[in-house]
Every structure is written in structure tokens, then in C-alpha cells.
Structure 1
Amino acid sequence: MSAPAPNFAHLIRLTDDTGLFEHARLAVVRREHGYCTDDVARGLVVTSRETDPSADLLRLSECYLTFLNHAQSKTGAFHNRLGHDRRWEDRAGLGDWWGRALWGLGTAAARHRSPWIRDSALTAFRLGTSQRSAHPHAMAFAGLGAAEVLRAHPGDADAAALLADAATAVGPPGADPRWPWPLPRLTYANAALAEVVIADAAARADDAALDTGLRLLTWLRDVQTGPHGLRVVPAGGWARGEERADRDQQPIEVAALADAFATAAAVTGDPAWQADLDRTVAWFLGANDADAVMWDERTGGGYDGLTPYGPNLNQGAESTLALLSTLQHARTAVPV
């Protein structure tokens, strides 16, 4: 499908010499909210995917890699929140930010055009693999980083072990075909859980596990499809038996689906997954419940959510990176 090229102007605007600011009022940075490892790691994923990065994007990658190294403790855990005063506001831990940090580092280690960034990212990634999180989402994000490393370094035992443990952490599918999801509730970035199962199955050439991952992703796609395009689970989540709200829909949900569809397409070669990927791009371009464009063409920023009153026009880091990563997939997708 026809899609705009990724515009990194707003990502550059959100980044200073320390890291990536989390929030914005419209397109203006809100420095008082500081930085978080979650967003910096996502930023490193996006900049590392660029095959011909500009000097500005190389600077962003260096900044994000430095931030993650600073955030990492000697145990391999990570701090998450850094104030604008450059002081950590939390203890190093193993929440989602640990998983996303390993995802960013793994992607940089496997894909970045700069050899020194690849080497430095791999060193930090390997330190992080000494840990395991009790949270399935954190493990899924870490597993996606491990899958990236394995594509570049097929014999990496630490990455293989982390990927296998991440797929196990997702849990087995439910017995009820009306709710096969392994968890009782859909929350956030749900597709990452199906994606890591698919990635692990592909790495081990396990057809049965691949079928399971694809079945989970198919169900997730189907329950997040509305009459006007994707209708992703709102910020409050959804469990079977609950009345499901159709807003506040978050761009991160759409981006997670795009990542998973791209992985499914690469693993299976099935063009139907490419068509699903097109639908994630279309959501940002207006094929959603509000017929609303979900980004600002003037700034390059992604809007923070789809509310009952239309887009939330603030352009924070998470939503901007969700837009950029989805458009990256659109640029590299094979036409169907």
C-alpha cells in the first residue's frame, strides 16, 4: 500500500544529549517528566533498523546506546526512570524496561550499520541475559532481542536460552477456542507475546510451536478487527466476559501487531500476513473507528491515542516510535 516514508524530525526533537524525553504537549517537549529506559530502548530498535542512517540518526543511536549502558547495573538489571536532573528515580529492576532494553540492544547488535555500536550493544545484551523476569511481557520483549541476536549470531547460546525461556514464559494457549490467549486478560503490546512464540519456534524449526504462535496471532488479529479497520484493545485492557470499550486505543498496540505480522510474514512467506501489515499502516492513516489520521505530517510526531473525541494530539515518544516502526515495516514489505 502507499504509505509515507518515516519522518524522524520529531524523534530528533524529543532527544537531547542525554536521552529521549517521554512526553510532549502537542509537539513541544515536556522536560519535567524526564526520560525512561522503555522509550530509549524503543528508540534504539527503530534507529538500528535503518539500513542507511543519516548523521542525525547515528547520533540518536549513540545517545540511546549510552543511556542504556548507564541504566544497566552490574547485575544486568536496568533502571527505568531518569529525571531531568540526571538522577535515577528508581532501583534497577527486571520490569518491562529490562525486556525492552534487551530488545533494543539485541536489535542494535544484529542490525546496526556501525560496527562499534553492534559490538557495544552485544556486550550489554549478554550481561542482561544473566537475568530472568517474572513478567511475561518483559520476557517477551527480551526474547525478541534474543531472536535478533540469533539471526546475526546463530550459535549464541545465551540468546538461544533467553529466547526459549521467553516463549515458555508466555505460557500454553487456553483450552477454550473462544479465548485461546495464554493470559486471562489482554493488556498492552499483546502481539509481542505471540511474536516471541513464533520467533522461538522458527529458531528451533518446531512446526507445532509455530502453529501455536500463528494461531494466537490470528485470534488476536480477529478480536482486534472492527468495521472500519483495526480496533485495538484500549488502554484499560479487556478480559473475556467484560464489556469492551473501543477507546482509548494506543498506537503501541498497532505497532506491536505490525512487528508480529512482519515476523509471521518473514517466517511463513504467506502474503496474507503482508495484507495484515498493511492494515496497521492504514490505522495510522485513518482506517480506524474515528476515521482519524493518527500523526502530524508537519512535525513527524505520532498522536498519543484515539479517544472518544478523536486523536489525543500530544506527540510523545511512545506514540511517535510506534508510528515510525510501523512505517519502517511498510517500506520494507513485499507488495501483495
Structure 2
Amino acid sequence: MNELALLRDHGPDAPEVSGVALTRARVRVMNEIEGHGLRRSRLVWGISVTAALAVAAGTGYTMVPERTAVVQPSAVKLVAFETPVFPLALRPRPAGLKAPGISGGFGDDSQGRTTPAMTAVYLSSDATSDVYLAVDDRYTPQGTLTQIRTIDLDGGTAYLAGTGPKTAVLSWQRRDGQWVTLSGHGRFGTEKAVLSLARTVADDPQPVPLQVRLAPAGWRLRAFKDNTILTLADPASAATLSVSLVPHLAYLSGPQQVTVGGRRGEIVRTPDGWILQVELVDGRGFRLQAPAQLTLDQVIAVAEQVSVGPV
């Protein structure tokens, strides 16, 4: 993902998420992934990016703080944080499908419980035969009533919707509290194909590759996307903390050089808080955007607990 795409997809002008689009879209990893169950009423879906600080400059960009923020002594306490695990996988993974990118978020259900809505997107090598594997705690019809029919899935009830040319969507309750929606496109967009795929769905917990293991106390996961962006939010305010995996470090204006877990890092103060970027051994990097109520030492402490697995 280049910087302009990052700002376009996750900046303040990014489009809102629509659950219906999952069954119709042919989106690729760098577009919005609009998974089953990501309903606007349940989930605040957004990645906070300080767009005002980014100035396009060819292959890179410059982040220029407009002013120096005044940071009061921190009352924030950092605690251990657990990042999400996607519970299922296609086993075996069909030929021609790449390893999945995982996206999703958390919202409150009608009983006030915080529940996940997650989607694993298996992109195809032909760019048309993608498969979406979504998990939620309830069934949401995919399409109109006239498009949905009840079919048998190994002795159980499943709901099949054909929502467009070469698109088939199968939903079923796999166990109490776990509804699975499988969307097939292209060569997977038939009743026979999605039924065959459904029989390969297996319990196989997959941690999100981008992990944050330390966070302010009481903060919650807001969203994660494409294995490369993860955002936490303070339920009591509008404050967010985002970590994004980037192909290379950006140019920062007047950064302070720091060491993060033995790796080179750069940090700048912004009007809203901090931007810290850290170089990884393979030349990529990760960027941490933190609010002003964290101190410099706390931002570095959070960054030291960021880990990047295979993507």
C-alpha cells in the first residue's frame, strides 16, 4: 500500500462501510473490504490517519508537524493487550487462492456485549475468483428475500443467495453463537462451489499478523484491516492509537532518533500527539500514531510490544 492509497482508503474522506457490498464487490486487498456483519449500527469502522500532515512527494511524502503540542503529564496506564484471532480457515486452501488477509472489528450487540465481526479474504491469482470467509455472532441476510433460498448442508439448514453474475453467498450456523458466511466469486460463484468450500471450513485459529501487546488501560480494538493496519480506541473519548505496516519509512521533518527494541526509530510530535516509525529487518517498517496523552516513553513502550508476523 503506498501512502496516497493509505490516505485515500483510511483518511477523513474515506467511504463508509456497507455490509451489502461484500457479496457484490470484487475488491482487492488495497480496496475497502466490506465484510459480512460489519454493520454501521454495530461497528465504528475507521482508521485514523493524520491526513493534514501528509504531503504527496512522488514516491514518498513528508510529514510536517504544524505546531508543537503541549503534553500534560500522563495519567494513562499501559497494560497487556490481546489482539484478535480469526477462528477458521479453508483446509485445504483451494489452488489459486493466496493466504488470507484478515479484516474486521468489534462492536456491541443488543445485549451490550462486545462481539467480533471478522472476514478472511482469499484473493485469487486471476483477480476474479476471490473467496470471503466471514464470522459473526448472528445471521444477516445477504440479498433480498427473493434472492435467498434454504438448502441442505450436510443435514443442516443453510441459506444461499445469488447476488450477481458469478457470485454465490452461503450462510449457516456452525455452532451456537457462530454464523459463517462464505462468498464465492468467479469460478467459486456457484452453488456447487460454495457448498464444496463450506465442507472445507475448519477450526484453525489464525492470529492477525500485526500484533499490539501493550495498550492504554480500558482501550478497545476498533478495527483491523488487510493484515496491515490495526486501530485501538478509547471508549470514553475520541482518542485512537493506530499501527500500520508500511513498505518503507517516510521522511519526517525534524524527528528525534530513538531506539525501539534494538531497532532504529524516529518520532515527531504532531498537533494531535505522536508519530513514531520503526524500521524492520526486511526494509519495511511500521508506523505508530498515538494521542497526546501518552508520554514519549509510553509511545516507545507500546512500539516495543508491536510484532509483525508473515503477511
Same fold, TM-score > 0.5, yes or no:
no
Larger Rg: 2
Higher percent of residues as strand: 2
Larger relative contact order (C-alpha < 8 A, sep ≥ 6)?
2
TM-score computed with the length of structure 2 as normaliser = 0.23
